[in-house]
Structure 1
């Protein structure tokens, strides 16, 4: 469960982080009772911490009584090196790719067993998109996620393969099938999905390399259907990813 810290004697900081950690992609607004349950803290403690976090701008409280992450957390998060450095260096290449394809473009990194989206340039609005900058999604059901999973340490791959869950009827949830896909991604240098995260959306993604070998991010495009455009999109992604990699090396 997100943010669970129920050990007696835990510090105020750890309890505050438990409250903040209760939020995720599927739980963006929480009532006080839900916040306490997901944080693993007593209701009275959660109420006090939530009030202090609201006063500090880390949380906002809506008229409905639900709590959401405050702007101060987002603005502070943007100062993290993975956000500022990679995001800023990649920005020109992302915009060039977006201009060339008019499709939704993603830049993402792996955070544990999830994808963390650093940037999203919104493309054709007829394609359903659930991602957002700063949001997290499963590794196994997204194009950028599969690229990152294919190049993740063996223990991370094993953890993901042992806990696959279905997001749509087309999500790959059989470990041998996904393992074979990951091997193919490492061999071919790109990943694809079709309706695995959202019905009506397909994706293609490639790794971003530093020093020619270290995978530091994934660059992806989301369209309605890949079809005959797959080769063209892969080529465009590779050019952009190589440009980002050269900038990182410089």
Structure 2
């Protein structure tokens, strides 16, 4: 990501280099990493060399890619690991019932982070990936997490700007607020070609006892084929099942 300037600390600059990798970036050149982060090329080269010694990044012919050690560290994050484990049977059942791409996502700032994804060959090539990010305001899971989230989250999203990604993206704050109110009432969010042309999805919130959603479950498919009205109840059932498990776990 592009910033006004790199952090002053070594740790800050190293983390800036790591977070410069975006969804779909298999590898980045040193020049591109320096451009995205503002870290001078000599400094970036030195830091990447140290990170490579820890296995956090790897040197490849085209530049650099994230290393396996980073993936292994992510797997040790207890919150998301336990969420994925609890969600596994519900996501699997939803996948078998719909034969569409299934996502599990959590909120992080003005974006959503995908923590699980089950993919079907018959569906479109969705740009999401486990560990990847998407904007909250134009994705099904994101809109659910905004609708069932604290007001500060929506305020931050609006303040960051609602960029038009497709002709259908909602970029007016008032219209987005009206849609989120309907989502709270219906318990489902529908996205129709707002984040990506040709793709639609339907999502439901995962509630663990509090007023705010801790995660969201969705199914995604071709916009001209996905019947969100028919499949919405299946998504809601999966989200309710996971919600019950999380509530019972917290009560123990």
TM-score of the aligned structures, taking structure 1 as reference length:
0.91
Q: How does 1:69-88 map to 2 (within 5 A)?
A: 69-88=66-85
Query: Aligned match of 1:97 in 94, 97, 117?
Result: 94
Shift, 1:15, TM fit? 2.1
> CA 1:233–1:226 in 2, change beyond 3 Å: closer, same or farther?
farther
SS in 2 for 1:33: helix
Among candidates 210, 213, 224, match of residue 208 of structure 2: 210
Q: Please provide the CA RMSD for this pair.
A: 2.0
Q: Which residue is equivalent to 1:6?
A: 6
Q: Deviations over 1:20-62 (max 9, x none)?
A: 1222226553211221232232221111001111222111222
- Quick check: 1:128–1:199 contact (8 Å CA) kept in 2? no
Distance 1:186 1:225, change over 3 A: same
Looking at structure 1, the residues matched to 187 and 224 of structure 2 have their Cα atoms a distance apart, in angstroms, of: 17
Residues 83-116 of structure 1, C-alpha deviations (whole Å, 9 max, x = no match):
2110010001100010011011100001111110
Check the 8 A contact 1:5/1:18 in 2, yes or no. Answer: no
Matches of 1:242 and 1:151, distance apart in 2? 14
One of 53, 65, 70 as aligned partner of 1:68:
65
Structure 1: runs of 5 or more not aligned:
none
SS, match of residue 118 in structure 1: strand
Would the aligned equivalents of 2:24 and 2:127 in 1 still touch at CA under 8 Å?
no
Q: What is the CA distance between 1:81 and its match in structure 2? A: 2.1
1:195 aligns to what?
193
* Structure 2 residue 119 is the aligned partner of structure 1 residue 122: yes
- Structure-2 change in CA distance of 1:49 and 1:185 (3 Å): same
Q: CA deviation at 1:228?
A: 8.4
User: SS at 1:211's partner residue?
Assistant: coil
Structure-1 residue corresponding to 2:18: 20
- CA distance in structure 1 between the partners assigned to 2:48 and 2:4 by the alignment: 15
The Cα shift of 1:155 comes to 2.4
What is the aligned partner in structure 1 of residue 133 from structure 2?
136
Structure 2's unaligned 5+ residue stretches are none
